[in-house]
Amino acid sequence: MSLQVEELTVYYQTLKGDVRALEEATFRVADGEIMGLAGESGCGKSTLANSLILLKPPMRLVKGRVTLDGEELPIHDMERMNSYRFERISIIPQYAMNALNPTQKIGKIIADLVRWRQVDFDDILPELKRRLDLVHLSYDVLDMYPIELSGGMKQRVVMVLSTLLNPSLLLADEITSALDVSSQKAVMEMLVSFRGWEFVRSVIVITHDLSILYQVADSILIMYAGQLAEKASTVAIIRAPRHPYTRMLISSLPEVGVKHAERRLTGIPGTPPLLLNPPEGCRFRERCPVAFEKCVDVPPFIQIEPGHFVACWKEFETNARA
């Protein structure tokens, strides 16, 4: 087993009160699994990823436990987490490629980072060069400034950098959203190769784009307004979704091959609730066409088929009857 998250609940503290961004998240990511984490903006997907590696104010851990390879992560302790970050669990944050220090050469940036982990740059240099080679970058980039590289090249540098110490888990937050379609494909395929080359064991890919996850992910976890809605294998989520939100989300996606004149797609009426004082129970119920009285209680996130988890009262009812 690789990552186990239990009842993880994280709020943002604001002057107006707690913003309940993540409620009772319980899920597993198996060894070697690439899990996609998808949802609309503000659904808590980045909060979930960040709380696994850098839980800092105004984020507040309300409860929950995170175990990585059988060892509990001290996510509440900024200092103690230092010995896990980068080595055991690593992240490519959103806009990471724009976060490279523009006044330092790429080689210097990498050297500084590995030194912070008590690794000698010269020791790791041969491996670094080998990996740059694998992602089709020449060693010359080490002697270049970030401004000299294109977006796709910077993203590859960031990927090599974040996985240099072979972490167990990599969190990749919207790594393709600023790239052109051709670079998107190259970057995502590289991520799969990284797992093959054992630079990383498991990956959580955070994105709002389900069609990209369909290409590379083994499983997909769908979130809505801070709650987990559904987790299943990629094929099950795309072809046979069980949660009403997932179903409506997927049927609203325009795709090549779908024309307005032939098939008019429909969106989901309404907007997600505010997470400061969110409604009780299932947070999707106000927009849900099948909501009924039971939905004022929070539905548990339970397994209805092997590997298929869903949090929906209606679905439990249908499932029990079947």
Q: Nearest 5 degrees, angle CA 97-CA 99-CA 105?
A: 85
Phi and psi at 152, nearest 5°, equal -65, -35
CB 8 within 8 A of CB 64: yes
Smaller CB separation from another protein, 114 or 137: 137
153 contacts another protein (rule: CB under 8 A): yes
Closest CA to 170 of 181, 182, 159, 183: 159
Contacting range for another protein; rule: CB under 8 A; set: 63-71, 120-128, 203-211, 304-312: 203-211
Binding to another protein (CB under 8 A) within 236-275 occurs at: 238, 248-250, 252-261, 264-268, 271
> Which of 181, 306, 320, 322 touches another protein (CB under 8 A)?
181
- Taking CB under 8 A as the binding criterion, the range among 81-89, 175-183, 195-203, 298-306 that sits at the site for another protein is 175-183
Applying the rule CB under 8 A, the residues between 61 and 100 that interact with another protein are none
Token pair, residue 35, equals 């899990």
Cβ contact 197:203 at 8 Å = no
Under the criterion CB under 8 A, does residue 103 sit at the interface with another protein?
Answer: no
Is 261 or 320 the residue whose CB approaches another protein more closely? 261
Please classify residue 51 by burial: count the beta carbons closer than 10 Å to its beta carbon, then call 0-12 exposed, 13-18 middle and 19+ buried.
buried
From candidates 32, 152, 278, 279, binder to another protein by CB under 8 A: 152
211 scored as a contact of another protein (CB under 8 A): yes
Is residue 189 a contact residue for another protein (CB under 8 A)?
yes
Q: In angstroms, give the least distance from the CB of 252 to another protein.
A: 5
Q: Are strands 71-72 and 34-38 parallel, antiparallel or unpaired?
A: unpaired
Q: Work out how close the CB of 287 gets to another protein at its nearest, in angstroms, rounded to a whole number.
A: 8
Per-residue buried b or exposed e for 245-257, using 16+ beta carbons within 10 Å of the residue's own CB: bbbbbbeeeeeee
Contact between 14 and another protein (CB under 8 A)?
no
Shorter beta-carbon distance to another protein: residue 65 or 136: 136
> What is the identity of the amino acid at 255?
E
Query: How far is the C-alpha of 29 from the C-alpha of 278, rounded, in Å?
Result: 28
Q: What is the DSSP letter of 276?
A: B
Q: For residue 208, state whether it binds another protein (rule: CB under 8 A).
A: yes
Q: For 116, how many CA atoms within 13 A lie in the half-sphere containing its CB?
A: 13
| Closer of 252 and 318 to another protein (Cβ) | 252
State phi, psi for 140 to the nearest 5 degrees. -60, -25
CB of 124 to another protein, least distance (A): 25
- By C-beta, is 68 or 237 nearer to another protein? 237
- Nearest distance in Å: CB 255, another protein: 5
Shortest Cβ 117–another protein spacing (Å): 30
286 binds another protein (CB under 8 A): no
Under the criterion CB under 8 A, does residue 212 sit at the interface with another protein?
Answer: yes
**d(C-alpha 136, C-alpha 194), whole Å:** 13
Determine contact, residues 75/81, Cβ cutoff 8 Å. Answer: yes
Residue 150 interacts with another protein (CB under 8 A)?
yes
**Segment near another protein (CB under 8 A); pick from 93-101, 124-132, 150-158, 302-310:** 150-158
Which residue type, as a one-letter code, is found at position 41?
S
Q: Which is nearer to another protein, 44 or 64 (CB)?
A: 44
First to last CA, the chain: 32
Please report, as ranges, the residues that interact with another protein according to CB under 8 A. 40-41, 136, 150, 152-153, 180-186, 189, 208-212, 214-215, 238, 248-250, 252-261, 264-268, 271
